[in-house]
Structure 1
Amino acid sequence: MAPSLCAAPYPEIPMSSSQNLLVELFVEELPPKALKKLGDAFAQVLLQQLRAQGLTCEDSQLTAYASPRRLAAHITEVLPKAADKQVSQKLMPVSVGLGADGQPTPALLKKLAALGADASAVAGLKRAVDGKAEALFYDSTVAGALLADGLQKALTEAIAKLPIPKVMTYQLESGCALPGWDSVQFVRPAHGLVVLHGTQVLVSVKALGLSAGAATHGHRFEAAVDPVVLRDADSYAQQLREEGAVIASFAERRAEIERQLQQAAERVGGGVKPIEDEALLDEVTALVERPNVLVCEFEKEFLDVPQECLILTMKANQKYFPLLDAEGRLTHQFLVVSNISPADASAVTGGNERVVRPRLADAKFFFDQDRRKTLASRVEGLAKVVYHNKLGTQGERVERVRAIARAIAEQLGGAELVQQADQAALLAKTDLVTDMVGEFPELQGTMGRYYALNDGLDTAVADAIEDHYKPRFAGDELPRGAAGVVVALADKLETLVGMFGIGNLPTGDRDPFALRRHALGVIRMLVEKDLPLDLQVLLEDAYRLMNESLANVGLQEPGKLVSRSLEKEGAVKVTTYRFLDDQTPDLLSEFIYDRLAVNLREQGFSVQEVEAVLALRPQRLSDVQKRLEAVRAFAQLAEAPALAAANKRVGNILKKADAEVQARVSEAVLAEAAEKDLYAALQAVAPKARQQFAAGDYTASLQTLAALRTPVDAFFEHVMVNAEDPALKANRLGLLATLHEAMNRVADLSRLAA
């Protein structure tokens, strides 16, 4: 009978020097999507806790292991006992601890007793000033933690801090440390604990009802021996590979799968290559202990189905790697990462081919059935799909998106673009009521394009139907054509305005409607497509059009809640509509500028540069990059610090003025030479800077203004702005307002001041 992994037959032996440490939890199959994170967290917390207790050396190295049935950590140079520490502990003020005769008070003796000392320690107490009073300090030596004790604490902490997606509760097996019906909570039932310090088993360490041993298990079917009894901490990976048929390292197993995938593709030939999918590779790595990649195939007739459908069902449902040809087209062959390596693999390949065939047949059936109805005939069905209880159905949402899309298209192009955008917006959501998207929601938009082309629609409209979801994530491509950009903008603006209008704003880490992603999508399209659209106009138009649309479904006055019934499959569903909050455009504008600021800082622009440009709230977001580059170039000039400081000073003076100051100057009122010189410099420099700004040459505009440094410095040195003469004061304020206006067209330069 194999020895129980709960047992601890190995006696503790004295520890004399640092050794390498191995800790392994042997469990039932762990959730594959969480395995890598679990393995890294388990190992990192163990190391951190041991290091905090002084049980590791400076050059201790960590190796994390994670396979479907184990979490483990190997740490080099772990001490059997932490070094003793000299501790100086404050006791109490001298006036409290010592009487007038210098003898210890009862309070001091009680405090010393609590620390394990007696009256004999009084003579060795130190005095030192602490704040305003002199205090007594007790110096003592604290013994360093023993490894067994420190590791127990570290292991308990590592288990407690695991990022477990969902905890299981299970009963412990009899014969273990906690027999009977006691229950334990963990990610999966644990069956073994290995703790080796060099060759020594730390039997006193326990976790999840298990006592430490030196035995683990290998592959369920292919292990050469069972259990695998480890010789020492350093032989763990080697013994598991040779005796247990397990590659314990997640990274090594992943690399081996990649190698075998490429090797198998080369055997197939014809320039095919496995599909690249990092998430799939991680998940498969978490499903196998010793990978064996095999080539399988399916009937070529299934290739008539859009390859996105076939690829998705193979990856999502079966964890297969489809093979693509040199042009990126799906072939009828695919790769399977098996967890067994039989001499004759035909049963494995045949079984996988039988399993995938019904999946592909379902996809083909859905595709054939969906094509029997046009997208246009499905528009009516969207009226039965509730989008949001305060914003109506998908059918009503489509009408709002159409209205916004038409308004944007009219600004960007002619009648053809308006017609294409309107048709695409009308049909963009219709694939939501198809069988294929009902089965595979990830294909929304993609299937809409295929069905649009099947209906004989224009390619630009079909592309826009697919692209209106883009960009779907950070780094995703933008819509291909103008119609796609228009509908994508309209769709995201409808979502943002609607959700902000009913108060569904993101909070902290919560963003259930992905509003941050939608905002970034709007930003990217406006910037990267260089669209001549003003942000505030876009938001106000969307807000107005959405309110008009909501009014058309039964609202009578702003702020009044109106309910009406929607018939759905015989049941009555009540949906409530209301007008959107009138602060929506301004709130949403601030939200978008905040997202833009974050994005620009991630691109490497400084906080000061970003704040200087966005403080002016430039409406053409496509101009922001050029403004930032101009500010960066200006900041390198020798005149920049002085002008930024002066600009800040001017701004403060104007804010403190009794009334709003107009940028007007009467040359006849100018009295001092310095203010006349500044006015003359402005007359010479400002028109040129203004022309350069109008031409979009922001860098040249700011550099032209650098010539104002000398007259500005002289003005503040020799001129009293708040003169006693009201006319003189008003004129000087007007001069500063003129200067401020000229200096702050590109950015608020005061934000660059130190």
Structure 2
Amino acid sequence: MDQAKKIAVAEDGSWSKAAQGFARGQGVSPDELFTSEVKGTEYVFAKTFQEGKKTLELLPALKDLITSMHFPKNMRWHDYSLRFARPIQWLVALYGKEVIPFSITSIHSGDSSRGHRFLGEDVKITNPNEYKELMRKQFVLVDAEERKQTIRLQLEELAEQAGWVIPVNEELLEEVNNLVEWPTALSGKFEEEFLSLPKDVLLTTMKEHQRYFPVENMEGKLLPHFITVRNGDSSHIENVARGNEKVLRARFSDSAFFYKEDQKMDIDAAVRQLDAIVYHEELGSLGDKVKRIKDVAAKLSTHLDLSQSNQEFVQRAASISKFDLVSQMVGEFPELQGLMGEEYALYLGEKAEVATAIREHYYPRFAGDSLPETKIGLVISMADKLDTIVSCFAIGLIPTGSQDPYALRRQALGLVQMAVEKQLDIQLDTLLNLAVETAEDHGLKIENKEELLQQLNEFFTLRMKYALSDKGIEYDVVDAVLTDEQATITWTFSKAALLSEARKHENFKKVVEALSRVTNIAKKAEATVEINPSLFEKDEERLLYDRYKTLSSTLKQYKDQGQVTEAYKALEESVPLVHQYFEHIMVMSDQKEVKENRLQLMKQLAAEIEAFALFQKIVF
């Protein structure tokens, strides 16, 4: 074990309290500590010895590994305090032929397992190497990947035999795979009249309620058939198919009823119903949220220079964006929110632009999901996500650790993705300010606005770090470009991509060293004052001063126009002048006025450099 020497040794050379605590923690006396150098840094070490134990003595710790497992949904049973995915019925734990002794709830580990509930029998495992094959004989495929591949092959065989296409949803396949031990795929059919329902309704009914795979023809048109996976063999498979058909027929009949009834609704009346649905006790109703979304969207439309007609579409789409939440269909299938909104809006006479935006404003819903394709949908999506994040932060619902019940991280990442992919010319602080101001206008009490904006900025900066890393940008480049709160997200990502590419070139190291030298020495300057050119003694000072004045205007111009390559070139072209300056000029002159004037040039030039990137953070 080790500890840095600088915090382990006191000024008089004795061991510090930190070192003494370190020694106690390692079970040694301070006299036994020693120092050693690792990669140029001195560390203090303690050498400890722990006697080895037999493997069988260590393996009962498996109990803690099992009981510490987390699942999206846990349950309790009997009067036990343990929460687990399902009640534990038996435990097989072997090291060779020996049972690893431990118990969970009232279940003791042993060497006996159970086969398929209907097809198999209990089986004794005498050797772990025989486990898979012994269980296979009892109609249990214990290897999850083997089960999944078996299902996939069976689906392919059914499709080939009937001339179908069976689109495999990987999430559904994973769920089905974990529901069966001995998979057998089979097909069923339903009445063609149900194909008049929207495709998403049919797919969602099959997937969410029944765990069925849909069937399509070669052109991608849905066919009146489905595939399900039985946990068992092919005995009486026809009866199983008829039973599943009966259940699905009932589900589709319900969906058809909901669809027909929902088409009778009045959109504006549905919007008024949102006022009676609580969104959050501190944030009001869903109707209140819609009003905030509408106002944020209006401000965004102005900042993004949308045409007058598009602004009108934005206002209408924003005001009815959540109306389908009171529909019977979405009540039954929350996954269809937005999709049914578009469907019903078109049926009830709304413009296509408005209807499309209702669906798109939920995008992106998850990592890798589609982004809104229309400007109207984009603006409302951003407004919705901004309102959710800002209002949650305002009342203290800030993600911590793995806890993020309102999916604020995902929504912030979605906002970042939209800004980058759509090349939006809007600054992060502008987005945050207009959302915070809207929340205040709608009666949300914000005790400390500056602190809230700072929290939000830090939160989005972390999301940008994640997004940049996901694009393969090196960590030091990420740290270097996240410097300017006044920059657009697009500008920040463009800088990161450019520097990540530039570091591959031989000249990059010289650029970084020169610009870093300026920013490092600039730290010694006092408060900013005006540079006095009359105090310059050599041409190198005047040349660098002229270069600074050029940069102070051109870099801002390049930033405003999004010309990141030109901005970097301007800095790169300054490097020879920087080198000449340091070769001929002693910044820390004996003359106080000259020294302070030179430091001011360094400070103000450094400000221009650091507005682009903190080059000193780049590591070679």
Task: Pick the TM interval, shorter chain.
Answer: 0.7 to 0.9
The separation in 2 between residues aligned to 1:438 and 1:579, in whole angstroms, is 33
Deviation for aligned residue 1:527: 0.8
More moved, 407-416 vs 461-470: 407-416
Of 40, 53, 74, the match for 1:166: 74
Q: Structure 1 unaligned runs (5+)?
A: 1-128, 133-139, 172-181, 551-576
Letter in 1 for 2:518: V
Classify the secondary structure of the residue corresponding to 1:322: strand
Cα distance change on mapping 1:588 and 1:159 into 2, 3 Å: closer
Cα distance change on mapping 1:719 and 1:752 into 2, 3 Å: same
The separation in 1 between residues aligned to 2:539 and 2:51, in whole angstroms, is 76
Of 448, 459, 462, the match for 2:352: 459
Cα distance change on mapping 1:493 and 1:406 into 2, 3 Å: same
Contact 1:379 1:395 in 2 (8 A): yes
Could you say which residue in structure 1 is the equivalent of 2:115? 218
Contact 1:498 1:580 in 2 (8 A): no
The separation in 1 between residues aligned to 2:347 and 2:309, in whole angstroms, is 22
Cα distance change on mapping 1:369 and 1:693 into 2, 3 Å: closer
Cα distance change on mapping 1:276 and 1:412 into 2, 3 Å: farther
Of 208, 230, 237, the match for 1:345: 237
Cα distance change on mapping 1:280 and 1:462 into 2, 3 Å: same
Render the CA deviation track for 1:346-372: whole Å, top value 9, x for unaligned. 211111111111111111111111110
Could you say which residue in structure 2 is the equivalent of 1:280? 172
Q: Whose strand fraction is larger, Structure 1's or Structure 2's?
A: 1
Letter in 2 for 1:262: E
Q: Whose helix fraction is larger, Structure 1's or Structure 2's?
A: 2
1:716 and 2:592 equivalent? no
Render the CA deviation track for 1:216-246: whole Å, top value 9, x for unaligned. 33222223xx33455644333223323x122
Classify the secondary structure of the residue corresponding to 2:527: coil
The separation in 2 between residues aligned to 1:477 and 1:580, in whole angstroms, is 37
Identity among equivalent pairs (%):
34
Could you say which residue in structure 1 is the equivalent of 2:458? 590
Could you say which residue in structure 2 is the equivalent of 1:313? 205
The separation in 2 between residues aligned to 1:292 and 1:485, in whole angstroms, is 44
1:390 and 2:286 equivalent? no
Deviation for aligned residue 1:686: 7.8
Could you say which residue in structure 2 is the equivalent of 1:672? 538
Letter in 2 for 1:530: Q
Render the CA deviation track for 1:451-482: whole Å, top value 9, x for unaligned. 10111211111110011111111111101211
Classify the secondary structure of the residue corresponding to 2:572: helix
Could you say which residue in structure 2 is the equivalent of 1:241? 136
Contact 1:468 1:485 in 2 (8 A): yes
- CA RMSD in angstroms, aligned pairs only: 3.3
Contact 2:125 2:131 in 1 (8 A): yes
Could you say which residue in structure 2 is the equivalent of 1:490? 383
The separation in 2 between residues aligned to 1:216 and 1:166, in whole angstroms, is 23
Letter in 1 for 2:240: V
Cα distance change on mapping 1:401 and 1:346 into 2, 3 Å: same
Letter in 1 for 2:150: E
Letter in 2 for 1:625: F
The separation in 1 between residues aligned to 2:370 and 2:400, in whole angstroms, is 27
Cα distance change on mapping 1:685 and 1:192 into 2, 3 Å: closer
1:735 and 2:601 equivalent? yes
Of 410, 415, 430, the match for 1:537: 430
Classify the secondary structure of the residue corresponding to 1:609: helix
Could you say which residue in structure 1 is the equivalent of 2:470? 602
> What is the 5 A alignment of 1:370-389?
370-389=262-281
Letter in 2 for 1:166: N
Classify the secondary structure of the residue corresponding to 1:412: coil
Classify the secondary structure of the residue corresponding to 1:546: helix
Deviation for aligned residue 1:431: 0.8
Deviation for aligned residue 1:693: 5.8
Contact 1:639 1:709 in 2 (8 A): no
Could you say which residue in structure 2 is the equivalent of 1:502? 395
Could you say which residue in structure 2 is the equivalent of 1:748? 614
Letter in 1 for 2:299: A
Cα distance change on mapping 1:545 and 1:327 into 2, 3 Å: farther
Classify the secondary structure of the residue corresponding to 2:228: strand
Cα distance change on mapping 1:239 and 1:365 into 2, 3 Å: same
Cα distance change on mapping 1:493 and 1:142 into 2, 3 Å: closer
Deviation for aligned residue 1:539: 2.1
The separation in 2 between residues aligned to 1:131 and 1:442, in whole angstroms, is 61
The separation in 2 between residues aligned to 1:580 and 1:636, in whole angstroms, is 48
Letter in 1 for 2:457: S
Cα distance change on mapping 1:347 and 1:435 into 2, 3 Å: same
The separation in 1 between residues aligned to 2:476 and 2:345, in whole angstroms, is 48
Classify the secondary structure of the residue corresponding to 2:229: strand
Cα distance change on mapping 1:234 and 1:697 into 2, 3 Å: same
Letter in 2 for 1:156: K
Classify the secondary structure of the residue corresponding to 2:180: coil
1:354 and 2:246 equivalent? yes
Cα distance change on mapping 1:141 and 1:530 into 2, 3 Å: closer
The separation in 1 between residues aligned to 2:201 and 2:226, in whole angstroms, is 14
Cα distance change on mapping 1:457 and 1:752 into 2, 3 Å: same
Classify the secondary structure of the residue corresponding to 2:403: coil
More moved, 374-383 vs 697-706: 697-706
Classify the secondary structure of the residue corresponding to 2:214: strand
Aligned residues: 573
1:295 and 2:187 equivalent? yes
> What is the 5 A alignment of 1:677-692?
677-679=543-545
The separation in 2 between residues aligned to 1:398 and 1:338, in whole angstroms, is 44
Cα distance change on mapping 1:503 and 1:701 into 2, 3 Å: same
The separation in 1 between residues aligned to 2:465 and 2:84, in whole angstroms, is 42
Could you say which residue in structure 1 is the equivalent of 2:492? 624
Cα distance change on mapping 1:722 and 1:348 into 2, 3 Å: same
The separation in 2 between residues aligned to 1:752 and 1:184, in whole angstroms, is 49
Deviation for aligned residue 1:722: 4.8
Could you say which residue in structure 1 is the equivalent of 2:149? 255
Contact 2:473 2:497 in 1 (8 A): no
Contact 1:371 1:454 in 2 (8 A): yes
Could you say which residue in structure 1 is the equivalent of 2:445? 578
Superposition TM-score, scaled by structure 1 size: 0.69
Cα distance change on mapping 1:211 and 1:533 into 2, 3 Å: closer
Cα distance change on mapping 1:500 and 1:364 into 2, 3 Å: same
Deviation for aligned residue 1:253: 1.2
Letter in 1 for 2:430: V
More moved, 693-702 vs 295-304: 693-702
Classify the secondary structure of the residue corresponding to 2:442: helix
> What is the 5 A alignment of 1:646-661?
646-661=514-529
The separation in 2 between residues aligned to 1:195 and 1:589, in whole angstroms, is 50
Cα distance change on mapping 1:496 and 1:256 into 2, 3 Å: same
Contact 1:432 1:438 in 2 (8 A): yes
Could you say which residue in structure 1 is the equivalent of 2:4? none
Deviation for aligned residue 1:258: 1.1
Contact 2:498 2:565 in 1 (8 A): yes
Letter in 2 for 1:460: E
Contact 2:294 2:318 in 1 (8 A): yes
The separation in 2 between residues aligned to 1:234 and 1:169, in whole angstroms, is 33
Deviation for aligned residue 1:286: 2.0
Cα distance change on mapping 1:672 and 1:753 into 2, 3 Å: farther
Contact 1:641 1:753 in 2 (8 A): no
Could you say which residue in structure 2 is the equivalent of 1:445? 338
Cα distance change on mapping 1:746 and 1:192 into 2, 3 Å: closer
Pick the structure with greater CA Rg.
Answer: 1
More moved, 205-214 vs 365-374: 205-214
Superposition TM-score, scaled by structure 2 size: 0.83
Render the CA deviation track for 1:633-666: whole Å, top value 9, x for unaligned. 444555544553454443354444332234x452
Letter in 2 for 1:281: L
Render the CA deviation track for 1:121-170: whole Å, top value 9, x for unaligned. xxxxxxxx9459xxxxxxx99786274x555x254344444446535444
Could you say which residue in structure 2 is the equivalent of 1:14? none
Could you say which residue in structure 2 is the equivalent of 1:415? 308
Contact 1:170 1:189 in 2 (8 A): no
Deviation for aligned residue 1:725: 5.1
